[in-house]
Chains A and B, each alone.
Chain A
Amino acid sequence: MSSIMVDIKAASFPLAAHTKSTALLKQLSGTPKLTGVTPASRLEIRPAPDQASSGITQIDVLTGGLPRGCLTEICGPDCSGRTSLLLSALAAATRREEICALIDASDAFHPHSAAAAGINLERLLWIRCGVNSLSSSLSRKRRPATSLEEWDRRRMEDPVEQALRAADLLLQSNGFGMVAIDLAGTPPKMARRIPLTSWFRFRRVVENTPTVLLVIGEQSCAQSCASLSLQLQKSVFGSRFPVLSGQPSSNGNPSCAEQRPSHTELLSGMGIRAEVLHARTERKPVQTATAAFHTEAAWTG
């Protein structure tokens, strides 16, 4: 405030202003605060976080594992293997006897897939957000809230809001090995509405704890708050991947359906490719890092 006043006076009384600004600079140069500032070149390098296995060797090789005390984001479109990776990470965590929590914003968790993935269900806390409110909010045209209470009540019914609050509570209570927020079923339009401050808060809360905070969604919404961002994409799928290797037939369809009766076909799994979008541990990624792995259907031995 004082410097602004000096500038205003300087316009009308140059001589007086020069004297005062000289005095001000002299005073500032003697301020101990400025002399105590550490130059950026001398800042200590933040130690690399501990990393936990994701349960998939290829992903671990690509990323070094899921960083503890950090936010990891896995994004990709439908059928890109996000949930398979999530289940694999949860299974690895429960095998390490850690307590895990899954905040399911769209109530899409399939228990039998989880059991097949090897998750110890006794160590998994499942929170099903907005079981009915999501479909109703998407389909029904709602009137604007007439009062603050009504607005607050509707806000609390929002599954994304519930998921964020639940995540906040779980992270505050500490002690979880992994907290996963499943926003994969949430439309990107709604996920993008999550304020960046929420992600900053999560990152801050989870910092210096052994918790892995994992978020899956269709698009990246945590942005720079995430220490590791992975983009997944399906590459192949089908019956032991005989012909469905990304080469469609002339009409654009995979050709195997024309060859055999459908009841002899089996969905044996999917091939997934993963790309590191952003990793805080890697300061300057030289080139695009990708990895490929495949998933197997639950029935396969």
Chain B
Amino acid sequence: MPFACIFVPDFPVEALLRAEPALRPQAVAVLEGKPPLQKIFSVNEKARHMGIDPGMTKIQVEPCTELVLRPRSLLQEAAAHAALLDCAQSFSPRIEDTASDTVVLDLSGLESLFGSLPKIARAIARRTSGLGLEANVATASNPDTALFAARGFASVTVVPEGKEAEHLGNLPLEVLFSGLNSPTPPAEAVHFLETFDLWGVRNLRALCALPEIALSERLGQPGVRLQQLARGAIARTLVPVDAPLVFEEAMELDHPLVLLEPLAFLLAHLLDQLCARLAARALAAQELRLQLELDNGFHFLEDVPAEKASQQASKPVPASADAVVGPGRAPARQQNASRALEAPLPKHSSTFIRSLQLPIPMLDPKVFLKLLQLDLKAHPPGAPILKVLLSATPAQARTIQGGLFLPPRPEPEKLELTLARIAGMVGADKVGSLHLLDSHRPDAFRMQRFVPAEPGGQKEKTDDVASNAPVTALRMFRPPLRATVTLRDGKPVHVVFAKRKELHGEILWMAGPWRFSGDWWEQDGWARDEWDIAIQSSVAGRQSPALADHLPGISSLALYRLVHDLLNGHWFVEGTYD
């Protein structure tokens, strides 16, 4: 039964380089601890060549001008680990989360899908690299041998079955133990290594050559187990985990970010990583959630109660929603979703949340970036940004093939961008499709998000409807025009519009009144009389002399809907028939 292991050497540094790929050619060291007692926690290969080792103090390494120092980021390490799991899960459903920098996969039955073991190993390495992590990949007949080979050999290694001891023989003994590169290595591992060093045992071949009984007498069963591991003779059972479908990427900033333009660069990078992870799992994003931790020392943002914010976070947001949460009061869902957010927020900080609900699952980082930019332009955070957290709600990718004979439709991604741009211009509540409400109240409709109906849903008989006469349309005046009306025998005979002086005069024809009322059992009840009136218009009929000559009287009449509000007694003109 073949296994593969993905091991990321110098994981804290790799997690950092994943967020800042520009630093990859340089010597980088990760610091941990509180100033001024910061120590080197992890270094990359180039820094190691310069003589920088974990455990050194910041003051010791500061003279190295070529060395780039960065504080350790648990957020980025968590995101890198999740990316590692996503990569493994994209190949095999049975994966073991061995350590933060190590994942073991069960490759049983994958040969028919991906080819031979070397091909699988190369594909895994390629995909890991695509996710921004440089990892060692090894395959072997048991998990531990794959693990040691991944720790010991760079790049891709394939250990043939039955030749484990031969392949692992040249590896140093350190590969048997994890956590040796940290400033505080495990005491048991240090003890074993010191003992083997005293005996002159430097590599696994020498360990395998030791007599088993003598080894047992001196080091006990742990020593024997180490020897069996070195021989590749232990076939343990994998402990599979189900990688959660949590897609989050985060970045902590050294200095607060004030402008939105540099934020776009960060978002572009985070979106690339997020989309790569989603693509690795054959998923797309249904919702994007941007959470910004703001340096809100001046408290000029209005705080929203935590309950309200958590409600907004848990329930589906209609189009997009934002919330600013006060210090230490992050919504419950965020606290559960990310380990990094479990830490309390800094004293003078608040959280700014924007949520973008997408009409269909999408996976285009450029579209996401533009949507976020437009959204942030319309709803700026209002304070310097300390931390950026971007998360995506996954959904099955769209698999629709357009029909050859169906009418053309706008591309969903393009349409979403267009709608966002138009919404930025006229307002988000002014764009969309309308939904008529079940009410007789005038103008009873609601604007809703425009999601084009799928073709072929309902077939209508075009010919039958087309043969009918068109409907006389009403053009609304929003807001309605106030009018002064002269009554005679309870009927309007003269009307003057307050704001359009050119429209006034005797009412030449009328129909009505038509009485409507409703919601009288509510506080906002309404009751009105409607009249259809015709008055002489000074503007109508002035354009087409041919038609006006042909129709001398009627063409200069204008039809209006006159409304008398029975509750407050006001008269106004609601619209014109056109």
A contacts, CB < 8 Å to B: 53, 55-57, 75-88, 91-92, 95-99, 107-118, 120-131, 135, 139, 156, 162, 165-166, 169-170, 172-177, 184-185, 210, 218-219, 231, 233-239, 244-248, 252-254, 256-257, 262-263, 265-267, 269-270, 273, 275, 288, 290, 293-298
Contacts of B220-246 to chain A: CB distance below 8 A: none
Given contacts A77-B537, A175-B408, A267-B559, is CB(A166)–CB(B471) below 8 Å?
no
Is B516 interfacial (CB-CB < 8 Å)?
Answer: no
B399 contacts chain A at the CB level, 8 A cutoff = no
Q: Is the CB of A108 within 8 A of B476?
A: yes
Q: What are 24 A-B contacts with C-beta separation under 8 Å?
A: A77-B541, A78-B576, A79-B578, A80-B578, A84-B473, A84-B578, A92-B466, A95-B462, A97-B456, A109-B476, A121-B435, A122-B433, A122-B452, A124-B434, A170-B418, A174-B410, A175-B411, A185-B475, A234-B551, A237-B557, A244-B509, A246-B551, A248-B554, A273-B547
Assembly CA distance A99 to B548 (angstroms): 36
Q: How far is the CB of B414 from chain A (nearest CB, A)?
A: 5
Contact between A295 and B430 (Cβ–Cβ < 8 Å)? no
Residues on the B chain within 8 Å of A109, using CB: 475-476
Q: Closest CB of chain A to B410's CB: distance in Å?
A: 3
Task: Give per-residue flags for B433-451: 1 if the beta carbon is below 8 A from chain A beta carbons, else 0.
Answer: 1111000000101010011
Of all chain A residues, the one with the shortest Cβ separation from B414 is A173
- Within the complex, which residue of B406, B408, B508, B543 is in contact with A174, where a contact is CB–CB below 8 Å? B408
Q: In the complex, are the beta carbons of B472 and A84 less than 8 A apart?
A: yes
Count the B residues whose beta carbon is within 8 Å of the partner chain — how many?
84
- With both chains docked as a complex, state the minimum distance between the C-beta of A115 and any C-beta of chain B, in angstroms: 6
Q: Which 8 pairs show the lowest CB-CB distances between chains A and B?
A: A175-B410, A265-B511, A233-B547, A83-B473, A248-B553, A88-B470, A83-B578, A122-B453
Known: A57-B466, A126-B434. A233 touches B544 (CB 8 A): yes
Is A237 a contact partner of B511 (Cβ separation < 8 A)?
Answer: no
* A127 vs B425: C-alpha distance when bound (angstroms): 11
Contact in complex: B475, A108 (CB < 8 Å): yes
Supposing A79-B577, A296-B469 touch, asked if A244 and B513 sit within 8 A by C-beta, the answer is no
The CA-CA distance from A97 to B453 in the complex, in Å, is 9
B residues at A contact (CB < 8 Å)? 406-411, 414-415, 417-419, 421-422, 425-427, 430-436, 443, 445, 447, 450-453, 455-456, 460, 462, 465-479, 491, 499, 506, 508-513, 531-532, 534, 537, 539-544, 546-548, 550-555, 557-559, 575-578
User: Which residues of chain A are within 8 angstroms of B544 by Cβ–Cβ distance?
Assistant: 76, 231, 233, 275
Q: Judging by beta carbons under 8 Å apart, are B554 and A235 in contact?
A: yes
- B462 near A78 (CB under 8 angstroms)? no
Write the chain B residue with the least CB distance to A165.
B425
Instruction: Work out how many contacts link A and B, with CB atoms closer than 8 A.
Output: 288
B512 touching A262, Cβ below 8 Å: yes
A interface majority secondary structure: mixed
Shortest Cβ distance from B138 into chain A, in angstroms?
Answer: 49
A273: which B residues are within 8 A, CB to CB? 547, 550-551
Give the shortest distance, in Å, between A266 (CB) and chain B (any CB): 6
Whether A55 contacts B466 by the Cβ 8 Å rule is yes
Which one of A125, A135, A166, A256 has the greatest number of beta carbons of chain B within 10 Å?
A125
Task: Please name all residues of chain A whose beta carbon is closer than 8 Å to the beta carbon of B410 when the two chains form the complex.
Answer: 99, 173-176
Contact among B447, B477, B499 with A108 in the assembled complex (CB-CB below 8 Å): B477
Shortest Cβ distance from A91 into chain B, in angstroms?
A: 7
Separation in Å of the B362 CB from the closest CB of chain A? 15
A236: chain B residues at CB < 8 Å are 554
Task: Verify A116–B547 contact, CB threshold 8 A.
Answer: no
Q: Write the nearest CB–CB distance from A106 to chain B, whole angstroms.
A: 8
Give the residues in chain A near B540, CB-CB below 8 Å.
Answer: 77-80, 234
A295 adjacent to B470 (CB under 8 Å) = yes
B315 to chain A, nearest CB (A): 24
Chain B residues in 8 Å Cβ range of A78: 537, 539-540, 558, 576, 578
Question: Are the C-beta atoms of B425 and A162 separated by less than 8 Å?
Answer: yes
Nearest A residue to B456 via CB reads A97
* Interchain CB contact (< 8 A) of A210 among B408, B418, B479, B508: B408
A117 to B472, CA, bound (A): 8
B414 to A98, Cβ gap below 8 A?
no
Say yes or no: A77 contacts B453, CB within 8 Å: no
Q: Known: A162-B425, A233-B541. Is A99-B452 also a contact (CB below 8 A)?
A: yes
Residues of B within 8 A of A185 (CB): 475
Q: Contacts A83-B473, A233-B551 known; A239 to B466 CB distance under 8 Å?
A: no
Contacts of A84 in B (CB 8 A): 470-473, 578
Determine the chain B residues whose CB is within 8 A of the CB of A92 once the complex forms: 462, 466
